[in-house]
Amino acid sequence: MKMFDVYPLNNISITKAMGSWVWDANGQKYLDMYGGHAVISIGHTNPTYVGALTDQLNKIGFYSNSVIIEQQKELSEKLGALSGKEDYQLFLCNSGAEANENALKLASFYNNRSKIVAFKGAFHGRTSLAVAATDIPSIIAPVNQTDDIVFLPYNDVDALKAYFAEHGKDISSVIVEGIQGVGGIILATDEFLKAIRQVCDESGALYIADSVQCGCGRSGKYYSHDWAGVNADIYAMAKGIGNGFPMGAISIAPHIAPKYGMLGTTFGGNHLACRAAIAVADVMAQENLIENTTTIGNYLMEELKKIEGIKEIRGKGLMIAIEMPYDSSELRKKLLFEEHVFVGAAGKNIIRLLPALNITKEHADTFLDAFKKVLA
Ligand SMILES: Cc1ncc(COP(=O)(O)O)c(C=O)c1O
């Protein structure tokens, strides 16, 4: 059997990693400014993380959600403290799409409605409702199509209010990224997120914050949405929460009551996954990584803004877009194969930086030197 060929691959096989460095099978070292797509939050093979997972594997790796899993309690307390939402409730699953899927479903159970507001440029995952709420027609199969989802323009308060004035009583939830990732690192304005809070309060809809990419501290706050100063009803997380261990989660406001059987999963919240996420939360707290995100993110953006020939630098914390006035794929190729630096992309012209949250100024300088070289 061969692999189902859906990924355009770089001809590189990674065999070893440490912190923000990875090595290929030939021993070539690369700087990882991509974090495996915003997943590596505390650095590759972090010793605390490896120690915790090894210890847990030697005890028990998995048992189902039919028994008490003490690690779930520890994790929910730690995530509550890190995010400043001690009174929220945690439900654990396995991926970002699944987190959004559960958030949308829970909102629908809560208010017994079926209409969803999503936004132009959104990406929420590839499973049924999550992909239906994603503004990329080419990845929506006929079976995913539904009339229940409407796409409004992102950051357009007037359009949002006008839509709610007419349809508010039918809307179950509004799902929004605090910073659109796949859409090109577009920040939601505070005014827009406050307006979402307001129309949801007025209509009985729930505000779902898709924090899968922009959450887990990457923006300099645990949830990037919280820069607006208003709470969401449900926050969806994945990527950075497990530093590579597949995990998703939703953090649910206290007014949403659980019921047995309402949500469920076989793998979500198992011993090993929880231990991974606890180690991530511990390292983030002990090493002040959310603060570091702002420090290094600001440094990177200030230095990038001094470089000529770039159309725009935007982002928050360690979620940064370098938008070129032309197709950036040659630049990315040169960064990878000549300077040995991994970066991400969004569309053709945008280079996306999503490094580990504990990168240092030295890593940032190595990247900046490499970037100047390929531009020259
Ligand atoms: C904002 C956002 N939501 C959801 C997802 C889907 O996450 P997953 O690939 O873990 O299902 C992604 C993945 O890139 C994402 O960026």
Domains of the chain, by residue range, sit at 55-286, 288-326+335-353+368-376
Q: What does the pLDDT read at residue 84?
A: 98
Give first-to-last CA distance, the chain, whole Å: 44
Q: What does the pLDDT read at residue 197?
A: 99
CA distance 234 to 104: 9
Cβ of residue 319 lying under 6 Å from some atom of ligand 1: no
Q: What does the pLDDT read at residue 330?
A: 97
Picking from 105, 199, 101, the residue whose alpha carbon sits closest to that of residue 152 is: 199
Q: How confident is the model at residue 258 (pLDDT cuts 50, 70, 90)?
A: very high
In angstroms, what is the span from residue 102 Cα to ligand 1's centroid?
Answer: 13
Neighbouring residues of 171: CB distance < 8 A, sequence distance ≥ 6? 113, 115, 116, 117, 164, 203, 205
Q: What does the pLDDT read at residue 245?
A: 98
| Backbone dihedral region for residue 342 (phi beyond 0: left; psi -120 to 50: alpha; all else: beta) | beta
Q: What is the mean pLDDT of the chain?
A: 98
In the numeric block, which tokens belong to residue 165?
Answer: 């004035």
The set of long-range contacts for 282-288, using a CB threshold of 8 Å and a minimum separation of 24, is 282/48, 282/78, 283/42, 283/46, 283/48, 283/49, 283/358, 284/41, 284/42, 284/82, 284/217, 284/357, 285/78, 285/81, 285/82, 287/42, 287/358
In the numeric block, which tokens belong to residue 237?
Answer: 């997380």
Q: What does the pLDDT read at residue 25?
A: 98
E strand residue ranges, 142-242 = 149-152, 171-177, 179-180, 186-187, 206-210, 234-237
Q: Which of 7, 119, 134, 212 to mutate to test the pocket of ligand 1 (most atoms within 8 A of CB)?
A: 212
**pTM (global) more than 0.85:** yes
Q: What does the pLDDT read at residue 367?
A: 98
Q: What does the pLDDT read at residue 36?
A: 94
Cβ of residue 247 lying under 6 Å from some atom of ligand 1: no
CATH topology of domain 288-326+335-353+368-376: Aspartate Aminotransferase, domain 1 (3.90.1150)
Average pLDDT over residues 371-375: 97
Average pLDDT over residues 306-333: 98
Cβ of residue 353 lying under 6 Å from some atom of ligand 1: no
Q: What does the pLDDT read at residue 323?
A: 98
In which element (H, E) is residue 361 found? Answer: helix 361-375
Cα–Cα separations (whole angstroms), residue 152 to 64, 103, 164, 200, 224: 40, 19, 11, 15, 21
| pLDDT tens figures, 261-305 | 999 999 999 999 999 999 999 999 999 999 999 999 999 999 999
Handedness of CA 234, 238, 240, 245 (dihedral sign): positive
Cβ of residue 210 lying under 6 Å from some atom of ligand 1: yes
CATH topology of domain 55-286: Aspartate Aminotransferase; domain 2 (3.40.640)
Residues β-bridged to residue 118: 151
CA distance 151 to 128: 16
Cβ of residue 123 lying under 6 Å from some atom of ligand 1: yes
Q: What does the pLDDT read at residue 307?
A: 97
Q: What does the pLDDT read at residue 158?
A: 98
Q: Which of 119, 213, 214, 245 to mutate to test the pocket of ligand 1 (most atoms within 8 A of CB)?
A: 213
CB 251 within 8 A of CB 86: no
**Residue nearest ligand 1's atom 7 by CA:** 96
Neighbouring residues of 274: CB distance < 8 A, sequence distance ≥ 6? 69, 71, 72, 74, 75, 92
In angstroms, what is the span from residue 104 Cα to ligand 1's centroid?
Answer: 14
| pLDDT tens figures, 100-155 | 999 999 999 999 999 999 999 999 999 999 999 999 999 999 999 999 999 999 99
Q: What does the pLDDT read at residue 244?
A: 98
In the numeric block, which tokens belong to residue 188?
Answer: 């939601």
Residues β-bridged to residue 351: 322, 345
CA distance 290 to 317: 9
Strand 171-177, strand 186-187: pairing = unpaired
Average pLDDT over residues 304-321: 98
Q: What does the pLDDT read at residue 333?
A: 97
Residue type, 264: G
In angstroms, what is the span from residue 59 Cα to ligand 1's centroid?
Answer: 31
Counts of helices then strands in the chain (DSSP H, E): 11, 17
Q: Where are the alpha helices (DSSP H) in 315-359?
A: 329-337
Q: What does the pLDDT read at residue 331?
A: 98
Residues β-bridged to residue 21: 18, 31
In angstroms, what is the span from residue 294 Cα to ligand 1's centroid?
Answer: 22
Q: How confident is the model at residue 30 (pLDDT cuts 50, 70, 90)?
A: very high
Cβ of residue 97 lying under 6 Å from some atom of ligand 1: yes
Neighbouring residues of 347: CB distance < 8 A, sequence distance ≥ 6? 184
Cβ of residue 38 lying under 6 Å from some atom of ligand 1: no
